[in-house]
A and B are shown apart, each in its own frame.
Chain A
Amino acid sequence: MVTSVIPGRQRETRDSVVIRFAGDSGDGMQVTGSQFTLETALAGSDFSTFPDFPAEIRAPTGTTFGVSAFQIHFGGRDVMTPGDAVDVLVAMNPAALTVEIEDLKVGGTVIVDTAAFTDRNLSKAGYAKNPLEDDTLARFQVLKFDITKLTADAVKPHGLSSREAHLCRNMWSLGLLLWMYGYERTASVEWLKKKFAKKPVIAEANVAALNAGHAFGETAEMTEHLVGYVVPKADVEPGRYRTVTGTEGLAWGLVAGLRAAGIEKLVFAGYPITPASALLHTLANLRAYGVVTFQAEDEIAAAGAALGASYAGALGVTSSSGPGIALKTEMIGLAIATELPLIVIDSQRAGPSTGMPTKAEQSDLFQAVLGRNADAPLAVLAPVSTADCFDIAIEAVRIATKYMTPVMVLSDGYLAHAAEPWRIPREADLPRFPVTYRTDPEGFHPFLRDPATLARPWVKPGTPSLEHRIGGLERDYDSGHISYDADNHARMTKARADKIAGIANDIPLQTAALGNDKGKLAVVGWGSTFGAIHRAVQIARDEGRDVSHIHVRYLSPFPRNLGELLKRFERVLVPEMNNGQLVKLLRAEYLVPAESLPKVTGKPFRVTEIAQAIRKMV
């Protein structure tokens, strides 16, 4: 919060800051946010982002449902989430102001483009009167600039149309914000020149707008609240870093996993669905890494093609969001019955049914663990951050190929789009787990199990003398032939269950991410809520409370010590972005009195929400 103006324009220091850029879906807010993120990263700060865009591709301009926002939390320490409350809101029009202002801290700064506050725009946003002219914003520091005119002046020498000039407003704002935090513009200039390589005039104009915004901060007639800040660098492990989204992490992790397993090809089959399509797009560009992508006619065909590819000896991967995963369910059952590797990535979104496609939720846990006909266990993993998406994808490949099983990876719409800094691993340091295809006909049958893993052999069609038939019909334990024998079915059902349960012996023991391994309260989470839970537990511990954070990456099977660990706590709290799913699995599995902290608003947890819940318990 700005409390004073320091003479001589010295910069104030802030440990961390939350900025939200908000405007029309055509105002380029995502681009502005991404470029600010990159400059933040290059300056050495830690960060966490939250892009929040509408479902409509181009909603009518000026409307509240067309508001697109990008939030970034950056700073030297404790940046574990995109931030609860906003320090600085950039609102490009009245609709953005009315939608986003509720998240601005009291005393926070709001930057507005006064030219956008026309009667027409005010009315579309539902304002009876102009909020810039009454006391609506009295609790905040309001910086009113005619960004439209300032941008138009800056780009004038480049001869743009007024519409083209208008589209440069976001760069002016970016320039101002970069000045506010003392960041460079080099990467943004580079990006603009690359993006508009074929339209050099547009590139120049955008650069001019960017520079003008920056210069405005540097030289403008001092307004009382326009202050420059310094945000410290993060104290992180030395190494080479980049930004990574969950989608990139998953795509690259799959490629790394393919290599680790020594498999020649990865066949990725998908069907367009929000927010999972980005993975198909990313992998479609990785042909040089052994990836074949296939846009199937529907979700079922996508799962089928992936399974067919695995049957033929490639790594079959399919991906979707909740409703699409539901369609793939029968095929996943076939993968379980025929014991073939298959990776299924679920970018969860709010539901049921179509629900809220662009809003994140963690409500497919039951679907992943339990949602099939009959006794049909498989492995379920959940990445805890965008960076972890890379590692979890590799782990999914390892488990799928070693245990000949489908593996479901539960990402979500938030992880898919959010970006964080990532220490780039070197290929030489990545794990290796080469697969062995069966070629020896001696004593072969297709369901002959490895005594240690209970996995059946993987045979590539094309291998001489190993011709065999598999399918969805129950098969004999000892020969692999079709069998309707009662005892055999019981034996096979148990074998399938034991195989998945046995994975628990091949994954790390569960540890507390923060705090002791016993005590008054364990806060247990999974998936993308890691940051919010971690920070809340940190705050509560700083307040002297006996609380630990346990985050479960392996959801089926659970780590073999999880029950014992939970039982060492007096109480267990399970915050989840669903109506209480992990909490029920934990209660069912371990008979622990776990309590639920559900959140189903389509928005990630705030740290304060979890911290408050902890305070009520310990």
Chain B
Amino acid sequence: MTVTTITDAQLAPKDYASDQEVRWCPGCGDYAILKAVQKACADMGLVRERTVFVSGIGCAARFPYYMSTYGFHTVHGRAPAIATGIKLANPELDVWVMTGDGDGLSIGGNHMLHVLRRNVNLNIILFNNEIYGLTKGQYSPTSRRGTRSPSTPLGSIENPVSACAFALGAGARFVARSIDTLQAHLITVLKRAHAHTGASFVEILQNCVVFNDAVFEHITGKEVAADAQILVEHGKPLVFGKNKEKGLRLKPGKLELEVAPTGPDTLLHDETNRPLAQLLAALEPPFPTAMGVLYCNPTESYEHDVYAQKGAAQGNGDLDALLSSERTWEVGP
């Protein structure tokens, strides 16, 4: 997102860590995300006192406690609403919303929809581990059909929501995806999100080591990664495979993607093309999962437009004139 122009180039990643002990489970993907965010902050020289991390409830929502910036750990699903209020009060603050699949897409799905369509200038980082971790392992709105959990002992019969497809459908103008273990890629994506004006939505596939371990192994596993992921880059061909030998092209006569050997008909990624972003966001096995900035097409932010409207929040109006507006009458002594 942001409007921040002041930077602090002197700070190292560790300077963005608070003095609080990090209390995620050993091996949790959240550690890698925390590390990536702190590195991205340092790379961008974010000024700590102008930066606010806002979260709802869940494992991901503990995030603000571990940052040395301002932080607000709020109630379940409502971080986008609170962050919107913060931006309305002070558009100059650099505000991040840290959320999860349950927090952001289930209990807070409504707020996510509206914060994206309004285009509030926020960085929204959604940790997707396809499970409710903090409440001990129930299936979440991104869990795949058949997911066995304490609340679905016979397997989930619900269809999962795709976080990125949802964001695009809500009208988000920056949608990206990365993985907790792809440290360098993740840092790049976070920096792109921060540079974008308006609501930036980043889905991070994150491994829950306790309740949903290896749920992304079919995408992230060393053996399969090259064929199971496609790293998209604006203006570059949409190719994947160990030797980039496979590409995505449009299926003749259909509005569908298909995999074919890299060639002249391989599509170039255009991150300003919303229909393409929607096709990429929806790819699922046996297609490769798309990683990187799927869509980026900035416009003025909501709070910018709020303050650009005539007579916006000046505060110097004549109170006596207001109270005496319309008909008044004098009563003599």
Contacts and interface: CB of A to CB of B under 8 A. Distances in A.
Interface of A: 38, 41-42, 44, 187, 236-243, 252, 255-256, 258-259, 264-265, 267, 269, 286-292, 294, 296-298, 300-314, 316, 330-331, 333-334, 338, 424-427, 460-473, 481-482
B249 interface: no
B331 A44 contact: yes
A309 B89 contact: yes
Nearest to A459: B70
Nearest to B320: A427
Interface in B319-333: 319-320, 322-324, 326-333
Nearest to B326: A242
Most buried by A among B71, B80, B313: B313
A38 B111 CA distance: 44
Given A301-B111, A304-B81, A308-B81, A289 B331 contact: no
B263 to A, nearest CB: 46
B75 A330 contact: yes
A286 B89 contact: no
A462 B329 contact: no
Contacts of B87: 308
B93 A304 contact: no
Contacts of B89: 265, 267, 292, 308-314, 316
Contact of A470 (B72, B313, B320): B72
B153 interface: no
B10 interface: no
A360 to B, nearest CB: 25
Contacts of A460: 90
A331 B85 CA distance: 13
Given A238-B331, A304-B82, A305-B85, A468 B70 contact: yes
Contact of A308 (B65, B67, B83, B315): B83
A331 B75 contact: yes
A330 B77 CA distance: 11
B49 A265 contact: no
B332 A308 contact: no
Determine the main DSSP class of A at the interface with B: mixed
B81 A42 contact: no
Contacts of A286: 317, 322
B68 A471 contact: no
A288 B311 contact: yes
A334 B330 CA distance: 47
Contacts of B81: 296-297, 300-305, 308
A311 B111 CA distance: 19
Contact of B74 (A237, A239, A466, A471): A471
Most buried by A among B57, B65, B81, B314: B81
Given A256-B319, A469-B70, A307 B65 contact: no
What 4 pairs between A and B have smallest CB-CB spacing? A308-B85, A471-B73, A304-B81, A290-B315
B90 A482 contact: no
Interface in B274-318: 306, 309-317
Contact of A462 (B65, B85, B90, B320): B90
Interface of B: 18, 20, 48-50, 52, 54-55, 57, 64-65, 67-75, 78, 80-90, 92-93, 110-111, 113-114, 306, 309-317, 319-320, 322-324, 326-333
A281 to B, nearest CB: 15
Nearest to A466: B49
Contacts of A298: 110
Contacts of A297: 81, 110-111, 113-114
Given A286-B322, A287-B311, A288-B311, A304 B85 contact: yes
A258 B78 CA distance: 26
Contacts of A300: 78, 81, 111
Most buried by B among A44, A461, A470: A461
B328 A467 contact: no
24 contacts: A286-B317, A287-B312, A296-B81, A297-B113, A300-B78, A301-B80, A307-B74, A308-B82, A308-B84, A308-B85, A308-B88, A311-B72, A311-B82, A311-B89, A312-B93, A314-B90, A316-B89, A330-B75, A331-B75, A460-B90, A461-B86, A464-B49, A467-B48, A469-B72
Contacts of B72: 308, 311, 338, 469-471
A105 B92 CA distance: 63
A292 B88 contact: yes
A404 to B, nearest CB: 15
Given A239-B331, A288-B317, A300-B78, A312 B85 contact: yes
A507 B2 CA distance: 44
Given A331-B78, A469-B72, A472-B74, A424 B328 contact: yes
Contact of A463 (B49, B73, B86, B313): B49
A297 B112 CA distance: 10
B88 A294 contact: yes
B315 A289 contact: yes
Contacts of A311: 72, 82, 85-86, 89
B331 A241 contact: yes
Most buried by A among B71, B86, B333: B86
Contacts of A252: 319, 322-323
Contacts of B49: 461-467
B71 A469 contact: yes
Contacts of B69: 467
Given A304-B85, A330-B75, A259 B114 contact: no
Given A255-B322, A287-B314, 13 more contacts: A187-B327, A240-B329, A243-B327, A286-B317, A294-B88, A313-B90, A314-B90, A461-B86, A469-B20, A469-B70, A469-B72, A471-B73, A473-B73
A481 B69 CA distance: 14
Nearest to A242: B328
Contacts of B114: 296-297, 301
Nearest to A338: B72
Most buried by B among A243, A310, A472: A472
Nearest to B53: A469
A289 B314 CA distance: 6
